[in-house]
Homo-oligomer: A and B are copies of this chain.
Amino acid sequence: MNSREDLDDFIKNGHKQYLSHLSIDPVIFGYHDQQLKILLLRWRGLNGWGLPGGFIRKREPLSQAANRILQERTGLDNVFLQQFQVFGDSPYRLQERNAQEFANTYGFEVDTDHWLFERTLSISYFALVDYSRVSVTTDFFTDGYQWCDVSEIPSLLFDQNEVVEKALATLRLQIYHQPIGYNLLPDKFTLPEIHSLYETILGKKLDPWNFGKKLVSLGLINKLDERRSIGAHRSPYLYQFDKEAYENALTQGIVHTY
């Protein structure tokens, strides 16, 4: 959606194509190089940082919409993406004054009751991706992005600070009874790698040895007979997720600590 015609069409006819009152705003967690970050976009009209987002097509299944929006923004497909909450306690997300600001910014005259400015509930998802593989696409409404460390989130638009906080809390709680990491690590990885991932997500130290023992004893990962050469040190063994056990744990949930 980058040409003027596309935008024009979106503004005028979007309400025919999309479900009103609803948006999908994924919190995209990116992990790379032992850092956990989230993707923020700079919104032109609103002059601030916010989450990427999109709308649901009238006949599009919800989960498909979420995946499409993620794909449009990051180019990634087939990643861990989970709905976690609908935010709708602030009666309006966009106030009336935004219509004027919007008009000034984009050069569009729109009514204050235009569909874009109606009350919008945000169906929030969180995704886990390797951010080195992401190519971010901005559109007409956004003019920049950043991968922001989770410990340094700035003040965001609307109620999105709450959304991000809740996403992080959900992720950290969930990691205790669902295996997480399939999409963040290469197919074959070493114990130190997955160990560091979990430490980063949880924001605390975990005993490396005990951590590995646990994952193996739960059957979630399997030790391979290969090693990775990592320079001037002992070569660590490679591990792989046990696809079956992993899927099973995702749907059933596991109860344990790390």
- In the complex, are the beta carbons of A90 and B119 less than 8 A apart? no
Cβ–Cβ < 8 Å partners of A62 in chain B: 86-89, 121
Q: Is A173 an interface residue (CB 8 A)?
A: yes
CA distance A20 to B121 in the complex (A): 12
Q: List residues 168-189 of chain A with CB under 8 A from any CB of chain B.
A: 173, 176-177
Number of this chain's copies in the complex: 2
Partner of A21, one of B21, B88, B173: B21
Partner of A86, one of B58, B123, B255: B123
Q: Give, as a whole number of angstroms, the nearest-CB distance from A92 to chain B.
A: 8
* Interface size range on A against B: 20 to 34
Cβ–Cβ < 8 Å partners of A210 in chain B: none
- In the complex, are the beta carbons of A119 and B88 less than 8 A apart? no
- In the complex, are the beta carbons of A63 and B91 less than 8 A apart? no
Q: Give, as a whole number of angstroms, the nearest-CB distance from A247 to chain B.
A: 16
Known contacts A83-B86, A177-B173: does B20 contact A91 (CB below 8 Å)? no
CA distance A176 to B92 in the complex (A): 35
Q: Is A217 an interface residue (CB 8 A)?
A: no
Q: Give, as a whole number of angstroms, the nearest-CB distance from A173 to chain B.
A: 5
CA distance A60 to B89 in the complex (A): 8
Known contacts A173-B177, A173-B253: does B89 contact A121 (CB below 8 Å)? no
Q: Give, as a whole number of angstroms, the nearest-CB distance from A175 to chain B.
A: 11
Select the residue from A56, A60, A121 with max chain B CB neighbours within 10 A: A121
Cβ–Cβ < 8 Å partners of A92 in chain B: 59
- In the complex, are the beta carbons of A56 and B253 less than 8 A apart? no
- In the complex, are the beta carbons of A59 and B21 less than 8 A apart? no
- In the complex, are the beta carbons of B89 and A86 less than 8 A apart? no
Q: Give, as a whole number of angstroms, the nearest-CB distance from A28 to chain B.
A: 19
Q: Is A61 an interface residue (CB 8 A)?
A: yes
- In the complex, are the beta carbons of B89 and A61 less than 8 A apart? yes
Contacts A19-B121, A83-B86 aside, 8 further interface pairs with beta carbons under 8 A come to A20-B20, A22-B121, A56-B88, A61-B88, A61-B90, A62-B86, A62-B87, A86-B123
